[in-house]
């Protein structure tokens, strides 16, 4: 890793944050935001340990990305297993599911960080582009005292991507992702089998050429969403896509444009 001492790819405000908080625990997803934050902390000489919480809501590919990035950065990574479906407030999939899930995930990180002597400052990668409106998970982070340096320093998602590209991070253009639970309508009970079906179906469809899409579950049917600029790809692969999805769902009830962040 040749960039670790190059703080020119870390904005001044963020450098100041790490100077003030030199020993930290990072909630790490392996995505573009948390990967850049991991990089920036190490570039600034902070003593940081990343914690990836493995639940039924994360596809296996996310953990693989997290491990890959930690190795690339020569970073310290701890993987924690958490059974979020054991909590009925999460498994029943109410509108505030994310609130309870964040409490479970960050509770696990806080417990591990406490054992490591790192619980005084726990950070996550919420950025300035993230809108707290309608996001109960962000309320949970505030209640738990989790710091969000990208947001505090007013660093937006496009800025994270550009800074990551300049830093040479392979994650700079990773598509934004959301947990597998978001594919299921509120009120529909979440099960491990259902989540794995979504994961496997999306993995197979991704092999056809789509790179930023969701397969939403509607009963036993699927609704496919992708970015507007990928609709031409979707149209081109539709026969193959429908053949793949027929292995997992009783039918496809429609196609649509994916809203950012969902």
Each residue's pLDDT expressed in tens, for the chain with a length of 262 residues: 444 456 789 999 999 999 999 999 999 999 999 999 999 999 999 999 999 999 999 999 999 999 999 999 999 999 999 999 999 999 999 999 999 999 999 999 999 999 999 989 999 999 999 877 667 888 999 999 999 999 999 999 999 999 999 999 999 999 888 899 999 999 999 999 999 999 999 999 999 999 889 999 999 999 999 999 999 999 999 999 999 999 999 999 999 998 766 6
Angle 231-245/192-206 helices, nearest 10 degrees?
Answer: 130
Contact, 224 vs 234, CB < 8 A? yes
According to CATH, the superfamily of the domain at 7-173 is: HUPs (3.40.50.620)
- SS3 of 12, please? helix
| Radius of gyration of the chain from its Cα atoms, rounded to whole angstroms | 19
For residues 204 and 241, the answer to whether their CB atoms sit within 8 Å is no
**Coil vs helix vs strand at 217:** strand
Residue 61: other Cβ atoms inside 10 A: 14
Same fold: 7-173 with 191-257: no
Domain map (residue ranges) of the chain: 7-173, 191-257
The CATH class of the 191-257 domain is alpha beta
Q: Please give the helix or strand (H or E) that residue 72 lies within, else none.
A: helix 60-72
Taking the CA of residue 16 as centre, how many other CA atoms within 13 Å lie in the half-sphere pointing to its CB?
5
Which own/partner contact pairs does 118-122 have at CB distance under 8 Å and 24+ positions apart? 118/23, 118/24, 118/25, 118/49, 119/25, 120/23, 121/21, 121/23, 121/24, 121/25, 121/147, 122/24, 122/25, 122/26, 122/27, 122/146, 122/147
User: What is the H or E stretch that residue 236 is in?
Assistant: helix 231-245
């Amino acid at each position: 890793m040749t960039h670790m001492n190059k703080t020119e790819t870390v904005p001044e405000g963020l450098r100041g944050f790490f100077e003030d908080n030199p020993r930290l625990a990072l909630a790490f997803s392996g995505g573009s935001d948390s990967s850049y934050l991991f990089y920036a902390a190490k570039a600034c000489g902070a003593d940081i340990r990343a914690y990836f919480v493995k639940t039924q809501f994360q596809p296996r590919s996310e953990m693989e990305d997290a491990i890959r990035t930690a190795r690339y950065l020569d970073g310290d990574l701890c993987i924690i297993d958490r059974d979020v479906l054991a909590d009925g407030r999460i498994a029943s999939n109410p509108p505030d599911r994310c609130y309870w899930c964040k409490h479970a995930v960050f509770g696990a990180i806080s417990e591990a960080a406490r054992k490591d002597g790192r619980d005084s400052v726990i950070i996550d990668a919420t950025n300035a582009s993230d809108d707290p409106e309608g996001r109960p998970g962000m309320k949970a982070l505030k209640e738990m005292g989790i710091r969000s340096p990208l947001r505090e320093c007013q660093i937006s998602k496009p800025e994270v991507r550009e800074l990551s590209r300049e830093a040479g991070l392979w994650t700079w253009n990773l598509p934004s992702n959301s947990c597998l639970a978001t594919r299921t309508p509120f009120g529909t009970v979440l099960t491990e089998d259902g989540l794995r079906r979504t994961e496997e179906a999306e993995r197979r469809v991704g092999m056809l050429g789509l790179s930023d899409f969701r397969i939403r579950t509607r009963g036993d049917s699927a609704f496919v969403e992708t970015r507007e600029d990928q609709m031409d790809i979707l149209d081109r692969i539709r026969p193959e896509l429908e053949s793949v999805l027929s292995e997992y769902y009783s039918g496809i009830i429609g196609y649509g444009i994916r809203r950012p962040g969902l």
